[in-house]
Structure 1
């Protein structure tokens, strides 16, 4: 449920990486959570309340996942053990349509988590959308009007939006950028008005914090990224773009007023490392998925990024804990 930016870098020879910024008018109460496979899920329940009372989707996760949660609703950002990643971003025009109880329903807060739990690739995730009914849910007075960006370790990508209950899908490696309103079709049309694939220092560049300007800046700076020498340089390159499209403190826009960037993440899908940067902390932290011990059906491992003692590799500081999804 967040106003954000997503940038996929799938054109270098080193690794497939994705950056995202989380912009929202208050803290989303994030936790970084590693879930083992074999976890039973209920896509119709939220905080003990049946928000999808008839024919809720229930499943047991096939894959382990590493995600950042939002308000305890579900994962809003992260990837799974197969290298499928996803990111939920705010889209005011989202319309999930009228609930169809003939189809299994999952509330919007668990939509991304379901796909990460069950799919290994973008194509598999899109296949899971057939016959699935996504149901609106709210938290802290805000509806989860989200659209999803997906990518996998091969560099494949997809954007999924809902218009009057119908999913609108853009599927292909070329869909590397996403922000918020207007719809993705309109964003692509606006981008076509200026060829940011050939950036120069004389090219005028939009500098505001609205979704259209951030989309165009992301395109401009993505085209400038040099071939990285190593993972450190690759991650730094993506983070540099995410910092450029972040919303400074106090910058007002949108229907809820001020949307400051709360955090930025980078998913390295080749090396399976998750980087997290809180804007109120000078420390970048990361979790190496392959160093986690996640026995099937076991307890999730959790780390609180607001813990100011966290710095660098925090894989070893993830501890078992309870979480409501």
Structure 2
């Protein structure tokens, strides 16, 4: 299970934080995509490419957390140079099939986030691309989580430097879009429609409208428990006075909704309750992206304002490496723009 929060109380200090939870460790890297004006990056949404593949040209630079390795990468979380943040979270109810698929352009679910960051500068632009009226119509194609044997059932959250937020679910190939700046907390389950109902309940429970207000919070690992905790703390913060203050707030709230490393759920009926592998926090205004590995004590960060420090149009920094079925978590600290290495674009069109 995963948790995402959007701290948008102060429009000058907007931040988003996200936990990535998974039952097993996953190979993980940071990728930076530097869009060269003279040689724009043209990408494809499926591999191998065919006549129905969605093809696009990147407009923006981005830093993206990828799971997997050279055999198959999946874009999971990232920030672009327009201040747009995107996160993929697990959604057991997602279903990507649709009967009119042949008339659509196909987009692999693990290219979905990269397409959004490459081509969009705002939440509203993303919403327009996946609306009923969009041309071309885009069909999400499912698959297996890279580095895993689990099917990729996912939904997308987006937030921007204008204080806007949206969640996009896929139900039988059709997009269900929830677009409202007030939609600031999300977990994997239940559907976001149900999460809105939960939020309304808890907001009333904590408000002055309740003659017998209760600040009791569920402490469990179920998504609804963590939704309530994250919502409570996020809605009881003082307005941030600086970007650093907002980043610290977001990190502390989302980590309060995390699951300890090597957690044993003890319940075979809920295998999706899993340890938090890593946490990311982004500044929409300052274009800084922070990565916190749960298995190491160090935090690292990347600054998209200093894009020339990266050695190539596509650069990679390995964070968790799988060697002979063992996972090596790199103990990294601090500012990392200088430590990336040139690599191939995993989404490059032929």
Question: What whole-Å deviation, never above 9, does each CA across 1:142-165 have from its counterpart, x for those lacking one?
Answer: 111100000111111110001122
Return the index of the structure with the highest Cα Rg. Answer: 2
Change (3 A) 1:204 1:116: same
1:111 alignment partner in structure 2: 112
Alignment of 1:93-172 (within 5 A): 93-98=93-98, 100-129=101-130, 130=134, 131-139=137-145, 140-172=148-180
Whole-angstrom CA distance in 1 between matches of 2:289 and 2:139: 30
Q: Give the distance between the partners of 2:236 and 2:302, measured in 1 at CA.
A: 28
Pair 1:293-2:295 in alignment: no
Structure 1 pair 220–237 and aligned structure 2 pair: CA distance change class (3 A): same
1 CA distance for matches of 2:159 and 2:340?
Answer: 25
Structure 2 distance, partners of 1:44, 1:310, is 33
SS of residue matched to 2:247? helix
TM-score (normalised: structure 2): 0.84
TM-score (norm 1): 0.91
1:305 aligns with 2:305: no
Distance 1:102 1:172 in 2: 30
What residue number does 2:7 align with? 9
Q: Is 2:199 the counterpart of 1:187?
A: no
Match of 1:239 among 251, 255, 259: 251
For residues 208 and 271 of structure 1, the distance between their equivalents in structure 2, rounded to whole angstroms, comes to 34
Q: Post-superposition shift, 1:304?
A: 2.0
CA distance in 1, matches of 2:289, 2:207: 29
RMSD over aligned Cα, in angstroms?
A: 2.3
Corresponding position: 1:276 with 2:309: no
Structure-1 separation of matches of 2:117 and 2:308: 18
**1:198 CA displacement:** 4.1
Identify which of 55, 58, 68 aligns with 1:61: 58
Q: What does residue 78 of structure 1 align with?
A: 78
Distance in 2, matches of 1:259 and 1:189, equals 25
Gaps of 5+ in 1: none
Instruction: State the shift of 1:132 in Å.
Output: 0.8
Alignment match of 1:26 (pick from 24, 27, 35): 24
The size of the alignment, in residue pairs, is 317
Deviation per residue, 1:96-144 (Å, 9 max, x gap): 1236011100011111111111111111111222311111111322111
CA distance in 1, matches of 2:41, 2:276: 31
Q: Which residue of 2 aligns with 1:226?
A: 238
